[in-house]
Amino acid sequence: MHKSKLVAAVIDCQTEDLTEAARFWSAALGRTVAASDNPAKDKYVTLGSGKEELIVLLQKVPHPSRVHLDIESDDVEQEVKRLEALGAKRVEQIKTWWVMEAPTGHRFCVVRPQRDGTVPDDANEWS
């Protein structure tokens, strides 16, 4: 048995400097830019505290801008296999997570727990 839950909406930005993206999305969503982030140099910028029910991240990417979802799991491999059984495909493994593609063509990631190393109590349980 493993657990998983939608954890983040990631705004992929095709840019070398996330400063303008951070300014726009912070104002548009009413979330502050995390104090420790440096949008001009960082690959990721968190909007808000990062403790919200849905984390919102900006990410520097080389591909066209888009939005993707992150699903956190206490067993990444089992969650990937579960999603493959539903029709998803593995695209690329990056460090400890998998980039996946849904049957609809949408990209998403399966990642390790993002807060305190544990999946929240209200996560889905799968066997």
In a domain, 15, yes or no: yes
DSSP class of residue 42? -
Q: How much of the chain exceeds pLDDT 90, in percent?
A: 91
pLDDT > 90? residue 37 = no
- In contact, 107 and 59? CB cutoff 8 Å: no
- Picking from 62, 67, 60, the residue whose alpha carbon sits closest to that of residue 29 is 67
In a domain, 87, yes or no: yes
**What's the rounded mean pLDDT across residues 68-87?**
98
In a domain, 127, yes or no: no
The rounded mean pLDDT for the chain is 95
Distance of alpha carbon 101 from the chain centroid: 14
Entry pTM:
0.91
Q: Which domain holds residue 6?
A: 2-121
- Per-residue model confidence (pLDDT) at position 86: 98
- Per-residue model confidence (pLDDT) at position 36: 76
**What's the rounded mean pLDDT across residues 103-116?**
95
In a domain, 73, yes or no: yes
Number of domains in the chain: 1
